[in-house]
Amino acid sequence: MDNMAIVTEGLTKKFKDLVAVDHVDIEVKKGEIFGLLGPNGAGKTTLIRMLCTLTYPTEGSASVASYDIVKEAGKVREHIGLVSEKMIMYDRLTAFENLKLFGKLCNIPKGTLQKRIDELLKLVHMEKWAKSQIGTFSTGMKQRINVIRALLNVPEILFMDEPTLGLDPQSTSEIREFIRNLNVKDKATIILTTHQMIEADMLCDRVGIIDKGKIVALDTPRNLKRIVAGADMTSVDVDIPNLTNEMVTTLKSLSGVVSVVREHETHLLIRARGEDAFDMIIDSIRQNGGKIASIKSLEPSLEDVYLHITGKEMRADVKGKVKSFQGDGHGPMGGRRSRVR
Ligand SMILES: Nc1ncnc2c1ncn2[C@@H]1O[C@H](COP(=O)(O)OP(=O)(O)O)[C@@H](O)[C@H]1O
Ligand SMILES: [Mg+2]
């Protein structure tokens, strides 16, 4: 057990009849970046909150840094940092004052604290803003302060709950880079929750997929994608300038077609099973008078894994956030390489 940062056994949290976290058994190795991936309401935050001793489990147990989260909560807290979903900072205090306040709460000696704050501000390129009120910051700037706040006590284990949620692309990529550096240079174990597949794919050594409180799959992103490849699932990205609703309906009704998502006016993302899925899709579109401007089949993504395992689109659960996360998938850092045929 010595090489384990976190071990949970049947960890469960109920809110009345609702089972938010349902008998979760996970082991996170020291030095790992471990991702918890799932749509809104899957139970990610509740699981993190239990591990951070902010709420008690209803059932089951867990150890963090070898300490029991219930019986040794104080010890657990000494070894962890939490970047929570909701930023709790005082708008009228400066960045420096906010950090100092939280440092004091962690009992960090004054001299050490001052030095640590300066270091951390530099690390996220915020040293110029140390004396400015948090209230004047953009969301991206606030999140940088929120992130380094969790690092004041040099935690061995860092929990980050949706660390890039709502951030602009520039801040998102800087925070991701920062997470990677923390892991590589400082050997921190990082537990990260996200509903962005691309984030899990880019950053995590292993990913637990969580659906309705249950871990439904857990492996490296690469192995998870193999599950889909093995199941002979194809993702096809097709552009049809004269796309009609009828074409979409027909495609949806084809046996073998698992999902059809209309990404833009003329653009479809189709997931289908079977060897001849690709040809079948082309035939169907042509039979309906569709002109295909471009078509390519994509390598499996974690989205496909989620769909394959839970039988539902994750993006359907994150309406309104769809745009940003599609953009991500095709950006320069996108994990999906297309295989043009
Ligand atoms: N304090 C609470 N009281 C009642 N229900 C809650 C509470 N916190 C979370 N839930 C419910 O538990 C489920 C899991 O929520 P949460 O852990 O926040 O999911 P996620 O972080 O994956 O979006 C949701 O159905 C949510 O409504
Ligand atoms: Mg959450």
DSSP 311: S
Give residue 41 CA to ligand 2 midpoint distance, Å.
7
The closest of 334, 318, 324 to 202, measured between CA atoms, is: 334
Residue numbers in the chain where pLDDT is lower than 50: 317-341
- Which residue in this structure is represented by tokens 């495609």? 251
Question: Does any ligand 1 atom lie closer than 6 A to the CB of residue 40?
Answer: yes
Q: Could you give the domains of the chain?
A: 4-219 (3.40.50.300), 224-339 (3.30.70.100)
Ligand nearest to the CA of 44: 1
Give dist(CA 326, CA 262) in Å, integer.
12
Ligand nearest to the CA of 84: 2
CB burial of 141-169 (b: ≥16 within 10 Å; e: otherwise) equals bbbbbbbbbbbbbebbbbbbbbbbbebee
Predicted pLDDT of residue 14: 98
157: helix, strand or coil: strand
Question: Does any ligand 1 atom lie closer than 6 A to the CB of residue 57?
Answer: no
Predicted pLDDT of residue 107: 85
For the stretch 64-109, pLDDT in tens is: 999 999 999 999 999 999 999 888 889 999 999 999 999 998 888 9
The closest of 49, 125, 140, 137 to 98, measured between CA atoms, is: 137
| CA 328, 221, 53, 79 torsion-angle sign | negative
Give residue 46 CA to ligand 2 midpoint distance, Å.
7
Predicted pLDDT of residue 330: 34
Give dist(CA 22, CA 17) in Å, integer.
12
The closest of 224, 206, 219 to 306, measured between CA atoms, is: 224
Best of 15, 162, 212, 214 for a ligand 1 pocket test (most atoms within 8 Å of beta carbon): 15
Question: Does any ligand 1 atom lie closer than 6 A to the CB of residue 56?
Answer: no
Is the separation of the CB atoms in 240 and 196 below 8 Å?
A: no
List alpha helices for 70-213, DSSP H. 73-79, 95-105, 110-123, 139-149, 169-185, 197-203
Predicted pLDDT of residue 1: 61
The closest of 68, 336, 51, 103 to 197, measured between CA atoms, is: 336
Ligand nearest to the CA of 162: 2
Question: Does any ligand 1 atom lie closer than 6 A to the CB of residue 84?
Answer: no
DSSP 252: H
Strands (E), the chain: 4-15, 18-24, 27-29, 33-37, 59-64, 67-68, 80-83, 157-161, 189-194, 206-211, 214-219, 233-239, 257-264, 267-273, 294-298, 338-339
**Residue 300 Cα distances to 222, 322, 335, angstroms:** 10, 18, 10
The closest of 132, 131, 163 to 147, measured between CA atoms, is: 163
| CA 177, 181, 187, 188 torsion-angle sign | negative
| CA 134, 138, 142, 144 torsion-angle sign | negative
Q: List Cβ neighbours of 264 (8 Å cut-off, separation of 6 or more).
A: none
Give dist(CA 64, CA 32) in Å, integer.
14
Question: 10 Å Cβ neighbour count for 289?
Answer: 11
Predicted pLDDT of residue 98: 96
